[in-house]
Structure formats: C-alpha cells, structure tokens
C-alpha cells in the first residue's frame, strides 16, 4: 500500500507540474495557446 501511495503521489506531482508548465506557457505565449486550441 505504501508503494502504491508513493507512486500515486509521484504521478499526481508529475501531472501538477505538467499542468502548471502548460498554464505558464499559455500565459506567456498566446500563439502557442492558439495552436493548441486548433489541435484540440
């Protein structure tokens, strides 16, 4: 259970870091946000 919890925390941390990087990149680069919007 401890190993599972540590893996879950690591995955959550990676997702949180990725999300924060995406938000910061979108905030600083509107053209990137527009390009991502076209792909989505």
Strands (E), 1-40: none
Q: Which tokens hold the place of 22?
A: 């995406």
pLDDT on residue 40: 64
Decide which of 13 and 37 is more confident: 13
Residue 12 buriedness (CB in 10 A; 0-12 / 13-18 / 19+): exposed
pLDDT on residue 31: 67
In the predicted model, what is the mean pLDDT of the chain? Answer: 82
CB 36 within 8 A of CB 26: yes
pLDDT on residue 23: 84
What band does 32 get if pLDDT is binned at 50, 70 and 90?
A: low
In this predicted structure, the answer to whether residue 36 has a pLDDT above a threshold of 70 is no
């Amino acid at each position: 259970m401890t190993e599972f919890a540590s893996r879950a925390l690591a995955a959550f941390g990676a997702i949180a870091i990725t999300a924060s990087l995406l938000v910061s990149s979108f905030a600083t680069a509107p053209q990137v946000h527009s390009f991502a919007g076209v792909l989505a």
